[in-house]
Amino acid sequence: MGRRLVLLSLMMAGAVVLSVLAGTFLLRQPREGVEILVQDVAMLPNVPEDGMTELHFFLVVRNPTSSSRYIETIVLVARHPDDGTLFDTYTHQEVRVSASQNLQISEVSAIDGLYSEVSFRVKILNPGVPAWESPLTPDAPVSWYPG
């Protein structure tokens, strides 16, 4: 009887150690994120010759993961970096990006006034998880990790 109790105790202790190790391993695995960036940003002052600036860029959503990703709403805000003047807001809903794919969206805006600089901020809205937002620097991706 004593041997069985010792053996049972050793088996239980081993099971606890294995479950703690497995939990630690699973929690440490990197989460798979989606990369978001703006690229090919161009501000064309005085086009046409009426005191306006045209803002051209691509919003890129990269999915390097092995499963498709869904984003309910992406909101991108373009502003003047110094005085905060709002240039435009771009909203895209029900965005799906397949596994290992990139989604590239071309954007063009006409802005009153002559400007040569722009700053961007992206916001992700998905049901059931807190909103996420981040500044975007052209050609520098940020990573969003779905909840």
DSSP state string for 50-111: TTEEEEEEEEEEEE-SSS-EEEEEEEEEEE-TTT--EEEEEEEEEEEE-TTEEEEEEEEEEE
Q: Are 89 and 76 in contact (CB under 8 A)?
A: yes
pLDDT tens digits along 84-139: 999 999 999 999 999 999 999 999 999 999 999 999 999 999 998 899 999 999 99
pLDDT tens digit string along 7-18? 656 666 666 555
Its pTM surpasses 0.85: no
How far is 145 from 82, CA to CA, in rounded Å?
30
Strand partners of residue 88: 78
